[in-house]
Structure 1
Amino acid sequence: MADPALLGITASLGAGAATGLGGLAVAASGAPDDRRQNLLIGFAAGVMIAAACFSLILPAFAQMRSGGASVAWALAGVIAAVWLGAGVMGRLGLWADALAARGLAPAQFAASPHNAEVRRIALFVVAITLHNVPEGAAVGLSFLTDDPALGWATALGIGIQNVPEGMAVAALLASLGWSRARCAAGALATGLVEPLGGALAVAVAQISAAVLPWALGFSAGAMLFVVAAEIIPHTRRRIEHGSATPALMAGLVLMMVLDISLA
């Protein structure tokens, strides 16, 4: 019988690689025009909101409750983790400026009118990548339970939801003029951190299972900050290319249906 830990890490790799499928779909259709780009950005915002709520915040609360925390303490812990993630992401721009000034980060991260779009997309990609770490952890840990079917269901659910996430990443990279191959590779790269999360979670599971809900909440806060502070204001400024609200709602509903039906 396969080692559950190894199986969990392998499954997290497969789930993460699904972002590459979304990248290939966008690469096949080419770089989006302004209207389509706005719709894809709105769709990405809906995906991130749903992923933060259904794939991260609710599981974090459930994990804290299963660890023995009361409803009040679990709620307080999740809120603290979400605020921490949002705060760190909010400071990321300032840290990037300091690192860029020292030559320790790409110059495109430095604040300037010419880099505004690049910074916005970079924050989005960082948030997507960051939230994939606890998703990989969730897959890895699900194979350590007494129910192997739970592990496969978790890997399948996360893998399916990673496809539209990969589409969103590839579309934004395409808007920067990246080639189709680079867009697909970039989307794939954001998902390949999931086996890292799976391996780390399996490694620390024997030490403290209390780390996972904090990681989930932290990632949710980072994602919600990017949506509220960067993506939605950006689509509002581009309203001449059409409203992105229908696409945002479509992304939210799609991810909500996937998360609930595959739970």
Structure 2
Amino acid sequence: MMESLEIFVKEIGPVKSAFLATSFTWLLTAMGASLVFFFKTVKRSVFDTLLGFTGGVMVAASFWSLLGPSIALSEKSFPDHPWIPAAIGFLSGGLFIFFLDKLMPHLHINFSNEETEGVATKWHKSTLLLLAITMHNIPEGLAVGILFGAAALGLDGATTSAAIALAIGIGIQNFPEGMAVAMPLRRQGVGRRRSFWYGQLSAVVEPVAGVIGAIAVIYVQEILPYALSFAAGAMIFVVVEEVIPETQRDKYTDLAVLGFMGGFTVMMILDVALG
């Protein structure tokens, strides 16, 4: 089956394969948001555990699927110092989200209205929540798009199986993300359809970012090690600045940590087993 998928990815090309993969991750977000049609709320203990799971997947993906391949790809260009592109890209990705965090108005899920970050605005809380998760999803879409683009081109160090593992991992952790946007809105009295709309909309940026990542790899293949580590740096910044603090604001911190470890383990298994 994996061989058939590899052939299919190479046949349709890097851009289409990146688009399909990130559309899958968006679909999982929409499925998570769709729970709002069946439940009005979710227990905080479950919520924090799932957010922790999300963080674990992102951290594991940053190393197993992004930084590791970045260093491996750099061994030919920088045989004595293969860590150079990974270090530059990693720090650049973190700084990118840092400045985006300072500029884009947004509100993290478990935070109060007074804790809005970014440029001052009078936008509605639902919009600020949406922007927070959207910012979260940009590096995820880039990561999947870059890896699928590289695999479709047959570049050394990038395999279709590894790209599939990354897409599955990101998709799994997107499920609770969709719920994390839709459920709080529903609790605030927003209608089911509107809550679902905002929940799924938060991941629409992923196919866009995925296509951009694939196109970048096509035209400038030399940037691949930097691009992979850039996505990793951006994801780590999001986890430390956003995901972890959101799970530590109630009494279920231990469950959040266990969720984190579970997410890390699942992503590690996916990458090793499939990649």
Shorter-chain TM-score above 0.5: yes
| 1:117-132 equivalence runs, <5 A | 122-132=131-141
Q: Answer yes or no: is 1:58 the counterpart of 2:58.
A: no
Q: Point out the more displaced range, 247-256 or 219-228.
A: 219-228
Paired with 1:122 and 1:188, the residues of 2 have a C-alpha distance of 10
Q: Is the CA contact 1:44–1:248 (under 8 Å) kept in the aligned structure 2?
A: yes
Q: Is the CA contact 2:67–2:228 (under 8 Å) kept in the aligned structure 1?
A: yes
Q: Residue 24 of structure 1 aligns to which amino acid in structure 2? A: M
Paired with 1:137 and 1:202, the residues of 2 have a C-alpha distance of 6
Paired with 1:181 and 1:40, the residues of 2 have a C-alpha distance of 18
Counterpart for residue 189 of structure 2: none
Task: Please state whether the residue corresponding to 1:243 is helix, strand or coil.
Answer: helix
Q: Point out the more displaced range, 162-171 or 191-200.
A: 191-200
Counterpart for residue 114 of structure 1: 113
Counterpart for residue 23 of structure 1: 30
Counterpart for residue 141 of structure 1: 150
Q: Deviations over 1:140-164 (max 9, x none)?
A: 22122289x943x345323322321
Counterpart for residue 7 of structure 1: 13
Task: Please state whether the residue corresponding to 2:96 is helix, strand or coil.
Answer: helix
Paired with 1:69 and 1:243, the residues of 2 have a C-alpha distance of 42
Q: Point out the more displaced range, 42-51 or 166-175.
A: 166-175
Task: Report deviation, 1:134.
Answer: 3.4
Counterpart for residue 265 of structure 2: 253
Paired with 1:4 and 1:240, the residues of 2 have a C-alpha distance of 45
Counterpart for residue 3 of structure 2: none
**Identical positions, percent:** 22
| 1:88-237 equivalence runs, <5 A | 88-96=96-104, 114=113, 116=115, 122-145=131-154, 150-151=159-160, 153-177=161-185, 179=192, 181-182=196-197, 185-186=200-201, 188-193=203-208, 195-197=210-212, 199-201=214-216, 203-204=218-219, 208-237=220-249
May I ask how many residue pairs the two structures share in their alignment? 245
Paired with 2:260 and 2:249, the residues of 1 have a C-alpha distance of 15
Q: Residue 148 of structure 2 aligns to which amino acid in structure 1? A: V
Paired with 2:234 and 2:213, the residues of 1 have a C-alpha distance of 20
Counterpart for residue 77 of structure 1: 85
Compute the TM-score of the two structures, normalised by the length of structure 1: 0.78
Q: Residue 131 of structure 1 aligns to which amino acid in structure 2? A: E
Q: Is the CA contact 1:47–1:255 (under 8 Å) kept in the aligned structure 2?
A: yes
Task: Please state whether the residue corresponding to 2:13 is helix, strand or coil.
Answer: helix
Gap change, CA 1:120 and 1:82, over 3 Å in 2: farther
Counterpart for residue 101 of structure 1: none
Task: Report deviation, 1:199.
Answer: 4.2
Paired with 1:139 and 1:261, the residues of 2 have a C-alpha distance of 17
**Unmatched 5+ stretches in structure 1:** 98-105
Q: Is the CA contact 2:33–2:181 (under 8 Å) kept in the aligned structure 1?
A: no
| Cα RMSD, aligned residues only | 3.3
Task: Please state whether the residue corresponding to 2:204 is helix, strand or coil.
Answer: helix
Compute the TM-score of the two structures, normalised by the length of structure 2: 0.75
Gap change, CA 1:188 and 1:77, over 3 Å in 2: closer
Task: Report deviation, 1:5.
Answer: 7.2
Q: Point out the more displaced range, 253-262 or 191-200.
A: 191-200
**Unmatched 5+ stretches in structure 2:** 1-6, 117-124, 187-191
